[in-house]
Amino acid sequence: MPILLAIESSCDETAVALLRGEDGRPAEVLASEIASQIDLHRAYGGVVPELASRNHSLHLRPLVERALETAGVDIGAVDVFAATAGPGLASSLLIGSTAAKALAVAAGKPFVAVNHLEGHLLSPFVHLGRVPPHLALIVSGGHTLLLDVAGPARYRSVGSTRDDAAGEAFDKVAKMLGLPYPGGPEIEKTAAEGDPAAFAFPRSMLKEPNFDFSFSGLKTAVLYTLTDRAPDSGRPDPGDLPDLCASFQQAVVEVLVAKTVKAAAALGRRTIALSGGVSLNGALRSAFREACSRRGIQLHLADPALCTDNAAMIAFAGLLHHFGKRHSPLDADIDPNLPLALA
Ligand code: KG4
Ligand code: ZN
């Protein structure tokens, strides 16, 4: 069974994974190592590209060695190498991609350039080992995408955000509320004690006859609520925080679930898959579980460890391309704006 080593370095996590798999059989994650830079960037309230790339180069080699050790695999036993080619930060992508290509050249093995979004998209199916036809919702820090998936490498765009990505909305609203970066987990934690119906925030584009999303109006509504309630400071009363977080989270969850379910019905898809950092959100996961079970729709959620950026999802996408003989030339460049190849 082929073994693939993948490197992910598109943003602020350096990650290396080893996966073993056979076409159509559950893939085995032999190692999935992540060196998080979150603490480093937290002081700046967001990702600083120069710091990110410097840390990728510092962490990558020890991380590759640790992943091989965890997997109990000798580098000579790796059959294919893969790396994220985009979208992401150019200087960060370059570190992982160059390293994976160098390893492939040295070993005389094939290389696969993987789209980061495709990694997220396929992450709910790592343990299944195959990708059934389905409707996919990717909700990450940079993207909110609805895709009709016929199978690996057969994707059609159904809808996307017109402005902020769902994760970006979480991060920006958290910043307004004085919560640390990244905002998603902080908002979820704070929302646990709040009333999701306390503030009537807008459900944007819910009634429009398309499957696009918009989150900037919701963000502005939170801002206006803050300035209304504390005209001098614009800072929320700490007592309001749980209700603000719960009401904001509920507005995002409702729109994501309603539009996804509607798109599935319109396209006749009976299977939905959810991926990306925001898909870690407990309120979103349970709302999807409920909506899908009520309609007899099969739901695939990515394993929590595979929701935020990781290399196992890149490895799985790489492995499927390897099975489909879709290898990449060694001069394949990174692309910070790499679009997902659509059919
Ligand atoms: O997929 P990801 O790790 O990176 C990108 O490719 O963007 O997603 C990161 C995003 C951030 O915006 C973060 O705030 C959000 O996912 N996120 C969450 C949760 N955990 C992470 N959003 C809502 N609830 C969470 N529990
Ligand atoms: Zn991501």
Regarding whether 214 and 89 lie in a shared domain, the answer is no
143: pLDDT strictly greater than 80: yes
277, amino acid identity: G
Regarding whether 201 and 141 lie in a shared domain, the answer is yes
Exposed (0-12), middle (13-18) or buried (19+): which is 329, by Cβ within 10 Å? exposed
Could you read off the pLDDT of 93-123 as tens digits, one per residue? 999 999 999 999 999 999 999 999 999 999 9
Regarding whether 240 and 95 lie in a shared domain, the answer is no
Of 139-143, 183-187, 229-233, 309-313, the one with minimum mean pLDDT is: 229-233
CA 224–ligand 2 middle distance (angstroms): 30
Q: Is residue 332 part of a domain?
A: no
pTM of this structure: 0.95
Regarding whether 314 and 271 lie in a shared domain, the answer is no
Range of the domain at 138: 134-302
Regarding whether 315 and 240 lie in a shared domain, the answer is no
The CA distance from 17 to 24, in Å, is: 20
What interhelical angle do 183-191 and 241-267 show, nearest 10? 110
Regarding whether 143 and 85 lie in a shared domain, the answer is no
Mean pLDDT, residues 56-68 taken together: 96
Q: Is residue 72 part of a domain?
A: yes
The CA distance from 329 to 327, in Å, is: 7
Q: What is the pLDDT of residue 118?
A: 97
The CATH number of the domain holding residue 143 is 3.30.420.40
71: pLDDT strictly greater than 80: yes
Regarding whether 288 and 153 lie in a shared domain, the answer is yes
Regarding whether 153 and 141 lie in a shared domain, the answer is yes
43: pLDDT strictly greater than 90: no
CA 204–ligand 2 middle distance (angstroms): 24
- Among 140, 173, 279, residue to substitute to test ligand 1 (most atoms within 8 Å of Cβ): 140
Could you read off the pLDDT of 285-311 as tens digits, one per residue? 999 999 999 999 999 999 999 999 999
Kindly list the distances between the CA atom of residue 280 and the CA atoms of 2, 170, 219, in Å, as whole numbers in the listed order: 30, 13, 20
Q: Is residue 337 part of a domain?
A: no
Regarding whether 265 and 152 lie in a shared domain, the answer is yes
Residue 78 in tokens: 């790796």
% pLDDT > 90, the chain: 86
Q: Is residue 336 part of a domain?
A: no
Regarding whether 257 and 140 lie in a shared domain, the answer is yes
Regarding whether 97 and 84 lie in a shared domain, the answer is yes
The CA distance from 315 to 119, in Å, is: 8
The CA distance from 25 to 21, in Å, is: 7
Q: Is residue 330 part of a domain?
A: no
Residue whose CA lies nearest to ligand 1 atom number 10 = 141
Name the band, by pLDDT with cuts 50, 70 and 90, for residue 52: confident
197 close to 247: Cβ distance less than 8 angstroms: yes
Q: Is residue 244 part of a domain?
A: yes
Kindly list the distances between the CA atom of residue 6 and the CA atoms of 122, 206, 261, in Å, as whole numbers in the listed order: 15, 39, 33
Mean pLDDT, residues 277-284 taken together: 98
Q: Is residue 339 part of a domain?
A: no
Q: Is residue 33 part of a domain?
A: yes
Regarding whether 210 and 315 lie in a shared domain, the answer is no
Q: What is the pLDDT of residue 327?
A: 97
Mean pLDDT, residues 269-291 taken together: 98
The CA distance from 260 to 158, in Å, is: 10
Closest by Cα among 75, 61, 86, 69 to 10: 86
CA 270–ligand 2 middle distance (angstroms): 26
Regarding the beta carbon of 308 and ligand 1, being less than 6 Å apart is answered yes
Query: Based on the structure, what is the number of domains in the chain?
Result: 2
CA 63–ligand 1 middle distance (angstroms): 23
